[in-house]
Structure 1
Amino acid sequence: MYGRIADSGTVLVTAKASAQLDRYRLAPGDLICVRTGDLGKQALAGPEHEGWITGTACFRLRPQPFVDSRYLLHYMRHPAVRDWIDRHASTATVPTLTLNTLRTLPVLVPPSAIQEAIGDTMSALDDKVALHRKIVEVTEQLRDSLLPLLLTSQ
Structure 2
Amino acid sequence: MTDWHDDILENCLEILLDYRGKSPPKASVGIPVLSAKVVKTSGLLQPIEQKIAFDYYAKWMVRGLPHVGDVVMTTEGPMGEVIQLTEETVQYALGQRIVCLRGKSGILDNTFLRYLLSSPSQQNILEGYSTGTTVPGISQKALRSLPISYPPFDTQRQIGTLLSSLDDKIDLNRRTNETLEAMARALFRDWFVDFGPTRAKMAGEAPYLSPELWELFPAMLDNEGKPEGWHISSIGDETDIVGGSTPSTSNPIFWNGDHYWATPKSLFGNSLKCDS
Structure 2 unmatched runs, 5+:
1-39, 196-226, 228-276
Determine the C-alpha separation between the residues in 2 that align with 1:97 and 1:141. Answer: 41
AA aligned opposite 1:101: A
From the superposition, tell whether residues 17 and 118 of structure 1 become closer, same or farther in structure 2 (CA, over 3 Å): closer
**1:69 and 2:110 correspond:** yes
Aligned length: 154
Contact map agreement 2:76 2:137 (CA 8 A) in 1: yes
Please give the root-mean-square deviation of Cα atoms over the aligned residues, in Å. 2.2
Match of 2:48 in 1: 9
Structure having greater relative contact order (Cα 8 Å, sep ≥ 6)? 1
**1:52 and 2:92 correspond:** yes
Q: Cα distance, 1:92 vs. partner?
A: 3.8
Whichever structure has more strand as a proportion of its residues is: 2
Structure 1 unmatched runs, 5+:
none
From the superposition, tell whether residues 137 and 24 of structure 1 become closer, same or farther in structure 2 (CA, over 3 Å): farther
SS in 2 for 1:33: strand
> Paired residue for 1:21, among 61, 79, 87?
61
SS in 1 for 2:78: coil
**1:100 and 2:141 correspond:** yes
Whichever structure has more helix as a proportion of its residues is: 1
Determine the C-alpha separation between the residues in 1 that align with 2:98 and 2:125. Answer: 18
TM-score for the superposition, normalised by structure 2: 0.50
Structure 1 residues 65-144: aligned runs within 5 Å = 65=105, 66-144=107-185
AA aligned opposite 1:11: Q
From the superposition, tell whether residues 5 and 151 of structure 1 become closer, same or farther in structure 2 (CA, over 3 Å): closer
Instruction: Describe the superposition over 1:54-84 as per-residue Cα deviations: whole angstroms up to 9, x where unpaired.
Output: 1103211122222110011111122110111
Determine the C-alpha separation between the residues in 1 that align with 2:45 and 2:103. Answer: 21
Determine the C-alpha separation between the residues in 2 that align with 1:38 and 1:94. Answer: 7
Instruction: Compare 109-118 and 99-108 and name the one that shifted more.
Output: 99-108
TM-score for the superposition, normalised by structure 1: 0.84
Q: From the CA coordinates, give the structure whose radius of gyration is larger.
A: 2
